[in-house]
Structure 1
Amino acid sequence: MRENWSDNEVDLIVNDYFSMLIEELNGNSYNKSEHRRHLKPLLNDRPDLSIERKHQNISAVNIELGLPYIKGYKPLSKAQRSKLIPSIQRYILLNPEIQKVLDSFCNNADLVSPSVVQFDELLVNPPEKNKSVLMEPSPSFKISGKINYLEKEQHNITLGKKGEELALEFERNLLIMAGKEALAKKVEWVSDKFGDGAGFDILSSNLDGTDKYIEVKTTKLGIYSPFFFSSNEYKFSIINSENFHLYRIFNFSDSPKMFRVRGRYDKFCSIEAVQYKGHF
C-alpha cells in the first residue's frame, strides 16, 4: 500500500495543477497526459489513478477556497485537505502573477452570442445532489485578500446578462416548439427591466398558461462550480416552489451547456450559509 503523499509531492502536483489551470483560464490548449507523464517520475511513479484523484482533490479544495478549478477534474473531497490548503496558499503567495489571471478570468467579457448556440444541443442532465463532492466546513480565510473568485465571476454583469439572454431565447423557443406562440410572446426579462430585486430573472409560462419563474445562474467554469444566491431569492423559491426553476448555464465562453431544476433551492442542491446578520 502506498504511503501518504509527502509535503513535497503535494507541492509538486499543486504546481502542476495550476500550470494547467492558468492555460485553461487563458483559453490555451494543453495535454493532461503529457503533464502527468512529466510529473509521474517526480512522484515516485505513483499510479495514474492516484495522480488523477489528487488532481480532483485539488479541484475540491479550490472551490472551497473560492478559486476556479480545471473543468476536466471533477471535485473529489476528503483526501489530505490539511496539506492541500497550505500548499495552494503557498503557491498563490509565491506566484502573485496568478492574481492577474484570476482577475482577467472574472472580468473578461469576451463571450459567445446566444444567436450562435444550438438549443437542441444545449440541455444536459443536472448533476446529482451528491454529498461525496461537497466541501468540508470552510476555513476562516480565503486566498488573496479574501477574494472569492467564483463569486466575483458571477457578479460579472456582462456574463450575467448574456446568460439571461440565452435563457430567454431558449425559453421562447421552447414554447414555440410546443405550439404556444402566444405564450412565447409574453415571456418577460424581469431582471433587465426592473433589476434583481424580484427574486427571479425571467417570467415565463408553463404549458397550461400558469406563471413560471426562472432564475438564471451563469459561469464560464464547469458543471460543478457552485453558484451564489441571495436571501431574497431563496425565500422566493420557497414561496413559489411549484413554479420556480433554476437554469444553470456553464462552460459559457467555450461550448455553453445548461441544466434545469425545479423547486426550492434546499431541495435540488446542498446549500451553505456564507454570511450572517446579527441582531440585538
Structure 2
Amino acid sequence: MSHWSRIEVEAIVRTYFDMLNKELHGERVNKKEANRQLNRILTGRTLASIEFKHANMSAVLLDLGFPYVDGYKPRSNYQELLREVVEAHLALDKSLLVTVKNLVEQPALVAATDVDLELAFVPAPQRQPSTFHRTGRGERVNRPRLGVNYLEREANNASLGKAGEEFVLEVEHARLWKAGHRSLAERIEHVSQTQGDGLGYDVLSFEISGKERPIEVKTTRFGPLTPFYASNNEVNVSRLLDNYQLYRVFNYGKGPKVFVLPGLLDQSCTLEPTHYRALVG
C-alpha cells in the first residue's frame, strides 16, 4: 500500500478532530459512520486502514499532550506527515484549545457515592510501547511537544485529584463491605488528607485478610490510555512498600472506572523522564 498523501491525511485529521470535538462536548460519536464516509472519499483505502490511521492520530495527540478519541487505541509508529498536519490543525483551531483548557482546569464534581463494583473495576490495558522514536543514527529522543501539555496540566488539577481519591475511598469501602469485612471498611484512611501528601500514596485500605493496601490514585477525565505523572517519591515508594497499588481512575465525570496496577511502577509502566532537578554552582 502506498504512503498516505497530504490530501488523504488532511481528510483523516479533519474527521478525527470532528469526533474529538463532539466527544469533548459530551456528544454522541458514531465512529463507524465517520469511517464509512471517509471510505467513500478515500478510494483505495480500506476501513481497517482508516481505523489504523485514527489510532495513529491518537498517538500523535498523546505525544503533544492532548486527549484522544476514546476507543482509538494509540499506535505510535505513525507517518511524520500525520504529525505535521495535526500540529498545523492545532495551531489554527483555537476553539479546540479553549475546550481542552477548560476541561483540564475546571473543578471536579464529586462522583455519586453509590458504587457498583461490577462496573467500577475494569482490567488494566495492555502495556503500550514507549512513544520515544529513533533518529537516523539510532539514538532515542523524546518527541517535542507543541505549546501547552494539557494532560500534564490536568494531572496538576488538585480538585480532580481529590475527587478521584474520594471515588476510590467509596470503591474500597464498597469492596470490603460486600466481602463482609465492615470493620476493615470503616478503617480505610484518606492519608493524603490526614497525614499529608508526602507518603507516596493517597489511601490506606486493606485486603480481606487485614493486610494493608496502600493506594496511589491518578485521575483523568479522558480515556484509559491517557498517560499519568508519577513523582520520584511515588516511584520509590512503589519499590519499598509491600502490596503497593496504583488505581488509575479514568472517564471521570462520564461514569468513572478504575483499573489497578500493583507493585513496582517501573515494572507495570514505561517510565519516561519529564523533569530534571538543576543545581547552580
Q: Using structure 2 for the length normalisation, give the TM-score.
A: 0.90
Tell me, yes or no, if the aligned pair for 2:108 and 2:163 is still in contact at 8 Å: no
Rounded Cα–Cα distance in structure 1 between residues aligned with 2:97 and 2:87? 12
- What is the deviation of 1:39? 2.4
Asked if 1:27 is matched to 2:26, the reply is yes
Corresponding residue of 2:222: 221
Q: Is the 8 A contact 1:191 1:202 kept in 2?
A: yes
C-alpha distance in structure 2 between counterparts of 1:234 and 1:110, whole Å: 26
Matching residue within 142, 146, 154 for 2:145: 142
Instruction: Work out whether residues 115 and 171 of structure 2, in 8 Å CA contact, stay in contact via their aligned partners in 1.
Output: no
Report SS of the residue matched to 1:188.
Answer: coil
1:256 partner amino acid: P
Question: Secondary structure of the residue that 2:94 maps to in structure 1?
Answer: coil
**Percent same amino acid among aligned pairs?**
38
**Residues 115, 174 of structure 2: 8 Å contact kept:** no
Q: How many residues align?
A: 273
Counterparts of residues 86-125 of structure 1 (less than 5 Å): 86-109=84-107, 111=109, 113-125=111-123
* Alignment partner, residue 190 of structure 1: 191
Aligned counterparts of 2:197 and 2:42: Cα–Cα separation in 1: 49
CA distance in 2 between counterparts of 1:186 and 1:16 reads 50
Give the AA of the match of 1:94.
L
- Cα contact 2:59–2:76 (8 A) shared by 1: yes
Which residue identity is paired with 1:167? V
Return the letter of the residue paired with 1:92: L
Could you say which residue in structure 1 is the equivalent of 2:60?
A: 61
Q: Measure how far apart 1:172 and its partner are.
A: 1.8
**In the alignment, structure 1 residue 46 sits paired with structure 2 residue 42:** no
Instruction: Judge conservation of contact 2:22–2:29 (CA < 8 Å) in 1.
Output: yes
The answer to whether the Cα contact below 8 Å between 2:219 and 2:250 also exists between their aligned partners in 1 is yes
1:256 aligned residue = 256
1:217 and 1:247 in contact (8 A); partners too: yes
CA contact (8 A) 2:110 2:167 kept: no
- Give me the CA root mean square deviation: 1.9
The 3-state SS of whatever aligns with 1:217 is strand
**Cα distance in structure 2, aligned partners of 1:112 and 1:84:** 38
For the residues of structure 2 that align with 1:71 and 1:108, how far apart are their CA atoms?
20
Letter in 1 for 2:152: E
Q: Distance in 1 between matches of 2:50 and 2:118?
A: 36
